[in-house]
Amino acid sequence: MIKVLLFSALLIFLSLIAGWVGTKPGSVQIIWFNYDIKTSVSITLVFILIIIFISLVIYNFILSIIKTKNKIRTNIISRREDRSVNSLNKGIVALISGDGELAEKLSKDTKNIPKSLLPLGIVLSAHSAHLNNNKKLAANYFEKMLVHKELEFLGLRGLMLQEKLESEKIKYARRAYMINPKSEWISNNLFKLESKLGNWREAEKILRNSKYYNKENNKKNINRKISITMFQQAKDYDENQSVAKLKKYTEAFELSPNLVPLSVELASLYYKNNRYRKANKVIEKTWNLSPHPDLYESFKNINKSENPANLLKRTIKLSELLDSSNAEVCLSKAEAYFLYKDFQRARESLKPLLEKKIDKRSYNLMAKIEEEENGPLAAKDWYRPYKELLLPLWICKNCDYKNNAWLPLCKKCNSFDSFDWGYDAYEGIQSIELQEDSIIEENIFDKSI
């Protein structure tokens, strides 16, 4: 309707112009290339209008050809994009389902995806190559991810999984951690790498950040880990840093008072500084949480000036809140009674252990009691089953690696704080070569998305 009105208005306007020109007679002369053309003004105007009309017709014809060409091209590109997007969707599904071969095949058909979906195409190509163990190709795609800000974290994560050298892994891990410190995966793996390399200060910072960002984490568990990292840091302090060491040990002890080696070291420091009461309190607190022979040895050393009667009283008081059948409780009481020369009660204290026929130390102490009271021949029977019995050890709960001393990291499986005090077949300290396996955690999507 609007076009009709505009066309009508144009005709009226042209009619008025033509009428006005008709009332104003005149002539037009054109001299060009030895041609002399003379005509009226009205004919000249009509000629000009004809030229304009023909030009518009030619212009519209050319424009329609260009539009048709562009439309055909757009349709072809659109179909290609649709096929690529379809391949991308199928590839991601294949990737999640663990079909690496299909995912990699489909990733090759995603070259024509729109620019907005290009990051997803790189993710598909990288992780399908990773799933098929095509490390070189996967690494190339992970490197490409670093260019895209939204994919940089994923790219660094992938490069971590590809890299064998831990010195390189930790570089990628630190960079990824800077991008997303809230990620539990990167926090856990960077912590493991820093711990394995002995960077305990950095490991502590990671744990404290994790404690801040992930409120749902087990507070007791993470406090123990922080305590261990602080303990390991302080162990490296030299003699001139005794004050700083004591402060660090104290802070660590407050976070986790059930860490046996820490308590022994802290009590020893207090003892060296003639703070015997503090030393005893440390041992008593840890003993009530985790009885251990090292604690009782430290307890005896702190109270070595006491006579046997007072040591016995202190020992009984030390374990009054604990289960009387606990191995360390039985042995500590029996030893105190033995030193006090009360052999009958020493035997009674050992009875729960002797009935189990498991602990070498109980038989060894019984032999000493018999030898002290009845002579060497009486002790002979207690040494006979000695080789069949066990000694408690620090045992890794993940791989069963055994060690006499507690370790922050298992030498076999690299697990952190995995040692429990318990019994196992004792064949001396194991000498197991360190495995070169990666300590990087991989979940169900590590080889896919």
Asked if the structure places residue 365 within a domain, the reply is yes
Count CA atoms within 13 Å of residue 68 on its CB side.
6
Q: How far is CA 301 from the centre of its chain?
A: 42
Of the two residues 31 and 419, the one the predictor is more confident about is: 419
Predicted local distance difference test score (pLDDT) of residue 80: 75
Encode pLDDT of 169-205 as tens digits: 999 999 999 999 998 899 999 999 999 999 999 999 9
pLDDT band at 216 (very low <50, low <70, confident <90, very high): low
Per-residue pLDDT, averaged over 99-125, amounts to: 78
pLDDT band at 416 (very low <50, low <70, confident <90, very high): very high
The overall pTM is greater than 0.85: no
Of the two residues 218 and 273, the one the predictor is more confident about is: 273
Residue 300 DSSP SS3: helix
Instruction: Tell me: pLDDT of 443 over 60.
Output: no
Asked if the structure places residue 324 within a domain, the reply is yes
Asked if the structure places residue 40 within a domain, the reply is no
Asked if the structure places residue 379 within a domain, the reply is yes
pLDDT band at 250 (very low <50, low <70, confident <90, very high): very high
The whole-chain average pLDDT of the chain stands at 84
Predicted local distance difference test score (pLDDT) of residue 426: 45
Predicted local distance difference test score (pLDDT) of residue 174: 94
What are the beta bridge partners of residue 402?
A: 395
Spatial separation of the C-alpha atoms in residues 321 and 329, rounded to whole Å? 10
Predicted local distance difference test score (pLDDT) of residue 429: 39
Predicted local distance difference test score (pLDDT) of residue 233: 94
Full residue range of the structural domain in which residue 352 is found: 306-384
Lowest-pLDDT range of 108-112, 292-296, 407-411? 108-112
Spatial separation of the C-alpha atoms in residues 278 and 204, rounded to whole Å? 26
Neighbours of 2 (CB within 10 A): 6
Q: How many domains does the chain have?
A: 1
Predicted local distance difference test score (pLDDT) of residue 359: 87
Per-residue pLDDT, averaged over 40-67, amounts to: 82
Asked if the structure places residue 391 within a domain, the reply is no
Encode pLDDT of 66-92 as tens digits: 888 888 887 777 787 778 777 777 877
Asked if the structure places residue 321 within a domain, the reply is yes
Asked if the structure places residue 352 within a domain, the reply is yes
Per-residue pLDDT, averaged over 413-427, amounts to: 81
Instruction: Tell me: pLDDT of 37 over 80.
Output: no
Spatial separation of the C-alpha atoms in residues 358 and 424, rounded to whole Å? 10
Asked if the structure places residue 243 within a domain, the reply is no
pLDDT band at 18 (very low <50, low <70, confident <90, very high): low
Name every residue whose Cβ is closer than 8 Å to that of residue 411 and which is 6 or more positions away in sequence. 401, 403, 432, 434
Task: Please name which of 250, 251, 248 lies closest in space to residue 267, comparing C-alpha atoms.
Answer: 250
Here the CATH number for the domain that contains residue 380 is 1.25.40.10
Spatial separation of the C-alpha atoms in residues 327 and 22, rounded to whole Å? 128
52-91 burial, b for 16+ CB within 10 Å, e for fewer? eeeeeeeeeeeeeeeeeeeeeeeeeeeeeeeebbebbebb
Of the two residues 127 and 266, the one the predictor is more confident about is: 266
Spatial separation of the C-alpha atoms in residues 284 and 296, rounded to whole Å? 9
DSSP string, 240-294: GGHHHHHHHHHHHHHH-TT-HHHHHHHHHHHHHTT-HHHHHHHHHHHHHHS--HH
**Distances in Å between the alpha carbon of 200 and those of 241, 262, 400, 412, 449?**
17, 15, 25, 20, 31
Alpha helices of 23-149 — where are they, by DSSP H?
A: 41-96, 100-107, 118-131, 135-145
Of the two residues 190 and 37, the one the predictor is more confident about is: 190
411-444 burial, b for 16+ CB within 10 Å, e for fewer? bbbbbbbbbebebeeeeeeeeeeeeeebbbeeee
From the number of C-beta atoms within 10 Å of its C-beta (0-12, 13-18, 19+), residue 122 rates as buried
